[in-house]
């Protein structure tokens, strides 16, 4: 087995059953020119574009990158997780591939020649992926939040793990792009959150080598660039794990794009230091991509959000979400600031009143005010991906007193709705939802006491902290 880090969350795994490409974002940017590869990845080779297998952990753009998929050889066999709702299969087919194989949670799938894979779903739309060839096992946790009892079946099924890959840095706007007069509202997630999560997951998996992974990005757009100074680097993970006394039985090994692990030869890593002088590298990377960033800015000039589109999309949201559920997660109105509407620039969504409206001033009791470039908001509404805005890092949020839980709860509800879990009257009719939930009982045993015992949005904030 030979494992090559391609970049960010993308792995190339060479096995006897062929080459598996995981989460192919191979070039360019994501999320309205906000996310870019850092350290930079090489241009995709012909071999890279012609894998035998492709696995997509979930449907976010930095994992399921349409431009990269469009360049792939269509003979590749695509594997996707079988979530409780059908989100990804039709998207894969629309790109010209045969209908993908949906992997059921925790069920081993045989690729042939002694190579086995498995998908372990967790949360609403994320997975950990396992590849095993004989006694060589790798686990790509990526940015999946899997933990607790849900991890145990991986170790039980596959035995000793050679390499485990896991994300380690901010991939959501909270708390870095938020402001609040109360610092406590910005303290639900911190650098230590990521270090603790890396340590806990790796301690449960007990790999020989723990790899900081899935967070190899730089934010080059002016809207998101302030986040760069807050990113948790692989070196910070190494130091953080040492400070915690290490991970029993595991070495923490950093890998950059192009670095390789071979089951016989071991590691082959470059000696380029990307992080000591990260600011200079990012400045150079920005300069090389400035024409694309400028073109994006030019394309957004003069684009405004149409009220009828905003109202139509989000009115369906408030109708489709169970009132008791929404009130518990997001009781306060959520407000967008839309400057093009000079008379009523505050556009709001209220689960409590089950209404969408706009006003000249911020509604009383709002969770805060969020500003998004109107062209970005308009496109997100058109494509039903409003929940992507939180990870795009091109927003700014000013929290009102006591508003953080309702703010994060609102983003969580929108995510569940746009993915298709809501309305329950529709998703609950499908057997696949119940079969999926039944196979994942360990996850729910872990989650239920936490959600019942405290405000569920505290728990949601932790999930944001390890996401994208």
Residue 31 has pLDDT above 90, yes or no: yes
The CATH 3.30.1050.10 portion of the chain extends over: 307-422
Distance CA 337, CA 64 (A): 30
Q: What pTM was estimated for this model as a whole?
A: 0.95
Phi and psi dihedrals of 219, rounded to 5? -105, 105
Fold of 2-290: Metallo-beta-lactamase; Chain A (3.60.15)
Confidence band of 447 (pLDDT split at 50, 70, 90): confident
CA quadruple 297, 302, 308, 311: dihedral, nearest 10: 40
Percent of the chain with pLDDT over 70: 96
Whether 228 contacts 282, CB under 8 Å: yes
Q: Give residue-wise pLDDT tens across range 344-368.
A: 999 999 999 999 999 999 999 999 9
Distance CA 466, CA 147 (A): 11
Q: Give residue-wise pLDDT tens across range 118-171.
A: 999 999 999 999 999 999 999 999 999 999 999 999 999 999 999 999 999 999
Half-sphere exposure of 414 (CA within 13 A, CB side): 21
Residue 404 has pLDDT above 60, yes or no: yes
Q: Give residue-wise pLDDT tens across range 219-273.
A: 999 999 999 999 999 999 999 999 999 999 999 999 999 999 999 999 999 999 9
Whether 154 contacts 180, CB under 8 Å: no
Rounded to 5 degrees, what angle do the CA atoms 141, 170, 395 make?
Answer: 130
Which class would CATH give 307-422?
A: alpha beta
Residue 410 has pLDDT above 60, yes or no: yes
Parallel, antiparallel or unpaired: strands 10-15 and 2-7 = antiparallel
The CATH 3.60.15.10 portion of the chain extends over: 2-290
Distance CA 234, CA 240 (A): 10
């Amino acid at each position: 087995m030979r494992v090559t880090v391609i970049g960010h969350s993308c792995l190339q795994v060479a096995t006897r059953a062929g080459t598996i490409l995981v989460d192919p974002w191979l070039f360019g940017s994501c999320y309205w020119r906000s996310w870019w590869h850092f350290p930079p990845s090489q241009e995709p080779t012909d071999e890279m574009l012609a894998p035998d297998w492709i696995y997509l952990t979930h449907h976010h753009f930095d994992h399921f990158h349409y431009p990269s998929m469009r360049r792939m050889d269509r003979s590749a066999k695509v594997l996707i997780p079988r979530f409780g709702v059908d989100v990804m299969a039709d998207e894969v087919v629309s790109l010209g591939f045969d209908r993908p194989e949906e992997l059921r949670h925790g069920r081993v799938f045989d690729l042939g020649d002694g190579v086995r894979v498995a998908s372990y779903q967790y949360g609403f739309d994320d997975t950990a992926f396992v590849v095993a060839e004989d006694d060589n096992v790798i686990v790509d946790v990526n940015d999946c939040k899997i933990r607790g009892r849900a991890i145990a079946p991986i170790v039980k099924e596959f035995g000793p793990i050679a390499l485990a890959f896991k994300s380690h840095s901010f991939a959501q706007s909270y708390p870095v792009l938020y402001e609040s007069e109360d610092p406590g509202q910005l303290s639900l997630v911190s650098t230590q959150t990521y270090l603790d999560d890396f340590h806990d997951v790796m301690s449960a998996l007990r790999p020989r080598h723990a790899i900081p992974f899935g967070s190899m990005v730089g934010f080059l757009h002016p809207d998101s660039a302030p986040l760069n100074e807050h990113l948790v680097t692989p070196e910070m993970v190494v130091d953080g794990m040492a400070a915690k006394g290490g991970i029993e039985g595991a070495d923490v090994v950093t890998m950059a794009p192009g670095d390789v692990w071979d089951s016989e030869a071991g590691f082959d890593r470059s000696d380029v230091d990307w992080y000591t002088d990260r600011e200079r590298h990012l400045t150079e990377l920005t300069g090389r991509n400035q024409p694309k960033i400028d073109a994006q800015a030019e394309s957004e000039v003069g684009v405004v959000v149409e009220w009828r589109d905003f109202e139509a999309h989000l009115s369906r949201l408030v109708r489709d979400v169970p009132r008791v559920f929404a009130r518990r997660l997001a009781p306060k109105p959520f407000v967008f600031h839309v400057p093009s509407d000079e008379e009523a620039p505050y556009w709001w969504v209220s689960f409590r009143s089950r209404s969408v409206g706009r006003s000249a001033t911020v509604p009383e009791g709002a969770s805060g005010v969020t500003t998004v470039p109107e062209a970005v908001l308009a496109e997100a509404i058109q494509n039903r991906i409003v929940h992507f805005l939180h990870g795009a890092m091109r927003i700014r949020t000013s929290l009102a007193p006591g508003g953080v839980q309702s703010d994060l709860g609102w983003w969580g509800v929108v995510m569940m709705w746009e993915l298709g879990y809501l309305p329950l009257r529709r998703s609950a009719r499908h057997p696949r939802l119940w079969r999926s939930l039944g196979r994942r009982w360990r996850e729910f045993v872990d989650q239920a006491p936490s959600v019942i015992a405290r405000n569920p949005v505290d728990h949601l904030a932790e999930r944001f902290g390890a996401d994208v």
